[in-house]
Structure 1
Amino acid sequence: MQQIFNFIFKNSNRILFLLLLGISLTLTIQSHSFHRSKIISSANFLSGGVYEKVNNINEYLNLKNQNDALALENAKLKSILFNKKDTTATKRLDSLKGVKPSDIIVSKVIHNSYNSHENYLTLNSGELQGVKSDMGVINDLGIVGIIDNTSPRYSTVVSILNTKSQINAKIKKSNHFGSLIWDGKNTGFVQLIDVPRLAAIRKGDTIVTGGQSVIFPENIGIGTIANIFTDNKTHYYTINIRLFNDMTNLGHVYIIKSKNREELINLEKKEKNE
């Protein structure tokens, strides 16, 4: 203990300098958006590299399970093809309404958090691939989240399993809209709130993206209705939705560019100013 005190007294000036330097850097970052954005970008770059290495190791250790899953999927696909009439009209992901193949960036999840209230994913695509903030992220089953921050080779995504996430969604058969949120309780379910009680809904109905947002195209799958509740205060429905996606097990994803986003945002700003 005496040696520790001697060390502190001997290096008190250096310790005080480092402490004041740390405080000054913290205040600078918090009060200047430019410095804060640079720090976030650098952190994305460093953490992205680490996550990619860890993901590569996990993939190598999990090769047997992946091969078994691929074999099972191939067997199912062959069964479908053998029992299907000959046709050239094959549906592809890039046939999303209003989205061209060139507006889709294929990426891969290299880190995925799902055990906190504010969950994020890290992708191995960034600014060099054309990724920007507020782009929608989906996979073949449905929506995954929204791009938050980017660095040259990586990007972070606000997962739909994030209590701060709010996405426009609708009931597919009736076109009644609501806001998609997450209550932070179960990774397999999200909630659709502010749905009017005049909406004709029942368990099993499909929930999709609403199309009132510039982030996601319309009719991207989300899940099916599991439970329906009535909010006694607002007298609106709160719907519990079972997700199509297993958000704890994500691989390749698709980032959707929105060419009309800036135009729509500028138009809305112009309307507000007028």
Structure 2
Amino acid sequence: MQQIINFLIRNKNNILFLLLLGFSLFLTIQAHSYQKSKFISSANFLSGGIYSWTSNINAYFNLEEYNNRLLEENQRLRTRLATYEDTLLIKDFKDTTSYEGHYTFKAAEVINNNYANRNNYLTLKKGATSGVERDMGVVTSKGIVGIVENVSPRYSTVISILNSNSRINAQLKKSNHFGTLVWNGDDPNVVQLIDVPAIAPVSEGDTIITGGRSLIFPKGLPIGTIKDYNTDQSESYYTINISLFNDMTNIGYVYIIDNTEKENVEELQDLNKDE
């Protein structure tokens, strides 16, 4: 103990310098958006390399399940091709497909997935050099996963649907009644659909899909089925518990959605705001 005290006394100036340097860097990053963005990109790069190494080990032990998922997805794709050949165009089966004209899907590997916290994120082994941008949707063949939040050249982070800040438009498949998809932080297999009008025809087992009322997800992507539901105090709106199609605790590969018409729509909406 005495040796530790002597060491601190001998090096008190150096220790004080390092503490002040660290504090000044913290203040600089927090106060300037440019330095903050560079710090986030650097952190993504370093953590991405670590996550990539650990992901390779985890992927080895889940190969059988991932292969089964791919077989199921190939079967569904073949069925859709045979039935809707005019609306589904396969450009490059290995990496990119086109859906309903102006949505493209890029495959990406998940190298880190949080699901036990209140605000959970995923890290993908694909970034800006592959065309990934902020606010792109992320899905699997079974359902939606989240929305891209931060991007570095080789990696990107995704705000999971298992995140208290997540807000996604969703609707009942059997009607046009829609609400907002949120998560209460309890069960990683169950999310909530709120603000659905009480006049909507709701039944346990009904399917919930994306509503298509945003520029992130196309309409009709699967989310889950109704587990149970109740109304608020005014009995005007439902709060619906949804059992997810995705197993959010085991996500190996995803598709990143790019809305190729997004900029055109945003420009048009900005013109309407100006008027």
User: In the TM superposition, what is the alpha-carbon distance from 1:179 to its structure 2 partner?
Assistant: 0.4
AA at the equivalent of 1:18: L
Q: Is this contact kept in 1: 2:59–2:252, CA < 8 A?
A: no
- Find the aligned partners of 1:227 and 1:112 in 2 and give their Cα distance: 27
- Find the aligned partners of 1:69 and 1:256 in 2 and give their Cα distance: 20
AA at the equivalent of 1:98: G
User: In the TM superposition, what is the alpha-carbon distance from 1:167 to its structure 2 partner?
Assistant: 0.3
| Residue of structure 2 in register with 1:190 after alignment | 191
Deviations 1:162-208 (A, max 9, x none): 11100011111111010000000001110000001111111111111
Q: CA 1:224–1:72 in structure 2 vs 1: closer, same or farther (change >3 Å)?
A: closer
AA at the equivalent of 1:15: I
User: In the TM superposition, what is the alpha-carbon distance from 1:58 to its structure 2 partner?
Assistant: 2.1
User: In the TM superposition, what is the alpha-carbon distance from 1:266 to its structure 2 partner?
Assistant: 3.7
| Residue of structure 2 in register with 1:11 after alignment | 11
Alignment size in residue pairs: 263
User: In the TM superposition, what is the alpha-carbon distance from 1:104 to its structure 2 partner?
Assistant: 1.8
| 2:153 maps to 1:156 | no
Stretches of structure 1 that go unaligned for 5 or more consecutive residues are none
AA at the equivalent of 2:264: E
User: In the TM superposition, what is the alpha-carbon distance from 1:90 to its structure 2 partner?
Assistant: 7.4
| 2:224 maps to 1:227 | no
User: In the TM superposition, what is the alpha-carbon distance from 1:263 to its structure 2 partner?
Assistant: 3.1
User: In the TM superposition, what is the alpha-carbon distance from 1:15 to its structure 2 partner?
Assistant: 1.2
Matched position secondary structure for 2:259: coil
Matched position secondary structure for 1:110: strand
| Residue of structure 1 in register with 2:212 after alignment | 211
Matched position secondary structure for 2:215: coil
Q: Is this contact kept in 1: 2:127–2:153, CA < 8 A?
A: yes
- Find the aligned partners of 1:24 and 1:74 in 2 and give their Cα distance: 53
AA at the equivalent of 2:255: Y
- Find the aligned partners of 1:95 and 1:266 in 2 and give their Cα distance: 23
Q: CA 1:74–1:270 in structure 2 vs 1: closer, same or farther (change >3 Å)?
A: closer
| 2:25 maps to 1:28 | no
| Residue of structure 1 in register with 2:93 after alignment | none
Q: Is this contact kept in 2: 1:221–1:244, CA < 8 A?
A: yes
Deviations 1:56-90 (A, max 9, x none): 12223x1xx63377479869x89xx9xx9xx9557
- Find the aligned partners of 1:144 and 1:226 in 2 and give their Cα distance: 19
AA at the equivalent of 2:57: I
| Residue of structure 1 in register with 2:133 after alignment | 132
| Residue of structure 1 in register with 2:99 after alignment | 96
- Find the aligned partners of 1:122 and 1:208 in 2 and give their Cα distance: 24
Query: TM-score normalized by structure 1?
Result: 0.87
Deviations 1:210-267 (A, max 9, x none): 1110000111110011111101157311000010100111122110111222333344
- Find the aligned partners of 2:65 and 2:143 in 1 and give their Cα distance: 23
The structure carrying a bigger strand percent of its residues is 2
AA at the equivalent of 1:4: I
Q: CA 1:8–1:72 in structure 2 vs 1: closer, same or farther (change >3 Å)?
A: closer
Matched position secondary structure for 1:257: strand
Stretches of structure 2 that go unaligned for 5 or more consecutive residues are 91-96
Query: TM-score normalized by structure 2?
Result: 0.87
